[in-house]
Amino acid sequence: SQQGEEDPQALSIQEGENATMNCSYKTSINNLQWYRQNSGRGLVHLILIRSNEREKHSGRLRVTLDTSKKSSSLLITASRAADTASYFCATDNNQGGKLIFGQGTELSVKP
């Protein structure tokens, strides 16, 4: 069963704009991880944020975590056509490190 829900399911923006994707989950977590997946390829790890952290940055990526609202957001700044992919959030619910994934957000960045 899926734990998280991503919002929106699909997002289309112009190159240079910012893209924001949201993730909500149901149970308490140890950490939350964001992944990217190009069509037909494996998952690429983007960033991990622990339950005691509120915000993390990595290059053009900014992730926030609000454990009181059980939600996270991924912001991609100054998007590029190469950012076009599906983005998934996944939660580690302290069950041996296994991740529970959401359905993903399909991002399309138009040049």
Q: How many residues does the chain have?
A: 111
Q: Which amino acid, 6?
A: E
On whether the CB atoms of residues 48 and 110 are closer than 8 A, the answer is: no
- Min dist. Cβ of residue 60 to another protein (A): 19
- Min dist. Cβ of residue 101 to another protein (A): 4
How many Cβ atoms sit within 10 Å of the Cβ of residue 22? 17
**Chain residues that interact with another protein, rule: CB under 8 A:** 2, 4, 30-31, 33, 35, 41-45, 48, 88, 90, 92, 94-104
Nearer to another protein, 44 or 82 (CB): 44
Nearer to another protein, 21 or 99 (CB): 99
The Cα 19–Cα 54 span in angstroms is: 19
Token pair of 2 as six digits: 């899926």
- Min dist. Cβ of residue 78 to another protein (A): 25
Nearer to another protein, 13 or 101 (CB): 101
On whether the CB atoms of residues 104 and 4 are closer than 8 A, the answer is: no
